[in-house]
């Protein structure tokens, strides 16, 4: 199955949308270069690109995109599901996510699952912060700060 690779320029760099016929497989953060490629996921890639452009223009707060199923443990899937529920302009801590999915002591595992999220921005892993500050982010803390501030979040 040939995937589509669609670059998307944002104020914080070029992301790459990877999609197949089933939906969005992965959003690759800036810093990794991929050649553009049209494939069976072209329609999904273009829809994602449009919605990401709307997000960066502050015109979209929630994404309505079909995602490929990620091969992941039930725990990781529950973390990603909880992250999907964090509203635009709000944050939750790793500990709050852990407690919310019934594993109150698994905040480090939540951080690992969060860091392996295949759909950054769409599944808003940037909205998960540490109890004592910003926490980490796979794309770097500058991008995380930018995304949070884009959503009006200045305290973390």
Going across the sheet that includes 4-10, the strands are 4-10, 13-20, 23-28
Active site residue 125: yes
> In angstroms, rounded to a whole number, what is the distance separating the alpha carbons of residues 156 and 138?
17
Pick the catalytic residue from 20, 25, 68, 125: 125
4 contact partners, CB below 8 Å, separation of at least 6: 17, 18, 19, 20, 37, 38, 39, 40, 41, 42, 44, 45
* Active-site residue set: 125
């Amino acid at each position: 199955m040939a995937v589509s690779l669609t670059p998307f320029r944002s104020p914080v760099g070029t992301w790459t949308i990877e999609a197949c016929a089933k939906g969005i497989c992965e959003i690759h953060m800036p810093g990794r270069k991929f050649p553009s490629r049209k494939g069976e996921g072209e329609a999904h890639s273009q829809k994602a690109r449009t919605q990401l452009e709307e997000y960066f223009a502050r015109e979209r707060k929630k994404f309505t995109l079909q995602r490929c199923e990620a091969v992941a443990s039930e725990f990781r899937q529950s973390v990603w599901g909880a992250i999907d529920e964090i509203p635009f302009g709000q944050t939750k801590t790793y500990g709050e996510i852990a407690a919310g999915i019934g594993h109150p002591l698994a905040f480090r595992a939540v951080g690992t699952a969060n860091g392996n999220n295949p759909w950054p921005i769409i599944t808003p892993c940037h909205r998960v912060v540490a109890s004592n500050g910003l926490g980490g982010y796979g794309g770097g803390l500058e991008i995380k700060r930018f995304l949070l501030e884009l959503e009006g979040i200045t305290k973390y």
